[in-house]
């Protein structure tokens, strides 16, 4: 008998399947398996065709959306601190921001997401900034690519920090009389130089797929929470008033009963 160690893994699978067919399946079952395989190949072909058709539709509507994105950006530009507010109100993004990041993002005037023409090959995110005390760049971008072999990669702008303002610096420089904690949260801006997980970049995907399609919902999120808090406070106040009214009625009824007892 030939040792399994001398048989390549793929070959062993083929031999196992062949032995299974000959030992455990009759002719009719064997033919059914071959027919299932043929049908499955047809399903796979249709799935591939569907993917191509879906891609064409996505490309069509991606072009149709561009004028609306442009108009939306122009309107957003009239609202101060729109993007930093949207980021702070997003639970996943806010977890990546420290106080210094929030201060720097006050100067963020516009965000743009551009999907490449064939969509599947990647996208680019542009962050436009007004003049600020942190860096010289007017625009910082990060883009993600998927090559023909399916290998992901990313690249980004180099940030030109102003003297003493590098938020990504890892040192123990003093600030306001206190030393920076070496274990403190990394800066949001460190993301631009992190290319270790280009194929599964959580922040990039959140911005592209969650925030960019409708940033207004996150900008208004804090107002919605405030309204909910007011509603809750109002309901609690009504409940307290009802409880007080109920106690007053009970006291009145007890008083009437006492008067009736004295008359008797």
Residues 84-117 pLDDT 10s: 999 999 999 999 999 999 999 999 999 999 999 8
The structure's pTM equals: 0.71
Under-70 pLDDT residues of the chain: 1-24, 170-184, 223-264
Residues 210-249 pLDDT 10s: 999 999 999 999 766 666 655 665 566 566 655 655 555 5
Q: In this structure, what token pair is assigned to residue 58?
A: 């996505």
Could you state, in order of their start, the residue ranges of all structural domains in the chain?
7-54, 77-168+184-223
What contacts 55, CB < 8 A, 6 or more positions away? 118, 119, 120
Q: In this structure, what token pair is assigned to residue 256?
A: 């009437």
pLDDT of residue 143: 96
**77-168+184-223 in CATH: which number?**
3.30.1120.90
Q: In this structure, what token pair is assigned to residue 54?
A: 């879906």
Residue 196 CA to residue 98 CA, distance in Å, equals: 22
Give the β-pairing of 122-129 and 139-146.
Answer: antiparallel
Question: 3-state SS of the chain?
Answer: CCCHHHCCHHHHHHHHHHHHHHHHCCHHHHHHHHHHHHHHHHHHHHHHHHHHHHHHHHHHHHHHHHHHHHHHHHHHCCCCCHHHHHHHHCHHHHCCCCHHHHHHHHHEEEEEEEECCCCCCEEEEEEEECCCCCECCCEEEEEEEECCCCCEEEEECCCCECCCCCCCCCCCCEECCEECCCCCCCCHHHHHHCCCCHHHCHHHHHHHHHHCCCCHHHHCHHHHHHHHHHHHHHHHHHHHHHHHHHHHHHHHHHHHHHHHHHHC
pLDDT of residue 155: 96
Give the β-pairing of 122-129 and 108-115.
Answer: antiparallel
pLDDT of residue 231: 62
Cβ neighbours around 110 below 10 Å, total: 16
């Amino acid at each position: 008998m030939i040792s399994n160690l001398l048989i390549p893994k793929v070959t062993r699978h083929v031999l196992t399947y062949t032995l299974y067919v000959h030992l455990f399946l009759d002719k009719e079952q064997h033919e059914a398996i071959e027919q299932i395989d043929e049908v499955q190949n047809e399903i796979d072909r249709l799935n591939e065709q569907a993917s191509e058709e879906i891609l064409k539709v996505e490309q069509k509507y991606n072009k149709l959306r561009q004028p609306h994105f442009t108009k939306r950006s122009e309107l957003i530009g009239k609202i101060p601190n729109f993007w930093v507010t949207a980021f702070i109100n997003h639970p996943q993004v806010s977890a990546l921001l420290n106080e210094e990041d929030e201060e720097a993002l006050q100067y963020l005037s516009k965000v743009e997401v551009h999907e490449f023409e064939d969509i599947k090959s990647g996208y680019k995110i542009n962050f436009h900034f007004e003049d600020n005390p942190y860096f010289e760049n007017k625009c910082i971008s990060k883009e993600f690519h998927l090559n023909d072999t399916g290998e992901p990669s990313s690249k980004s702008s180099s940030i030109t920090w102003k003297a003493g303002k590098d938020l990504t610096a890892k040192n123990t420089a003093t600030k306001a009389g206190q030393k920076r904690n070496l274990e403190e949260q990394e800066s949001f801006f460190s993301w631009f130089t992190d290319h270790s997980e280009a194929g599964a970049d959580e922040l990039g995907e959140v911005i592209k797929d969650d925030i960019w399609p409708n940033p207004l919902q996150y900008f208004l999120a804090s107002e919605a929470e405030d309204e909910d808090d007011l509603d809750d406070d109002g309901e609690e106040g009504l409940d307290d008033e009802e409880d007080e009214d109920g106690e007053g009625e009970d006291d009145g009824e007890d008083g009437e009963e006492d008067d009736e007892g004295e008359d008797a």
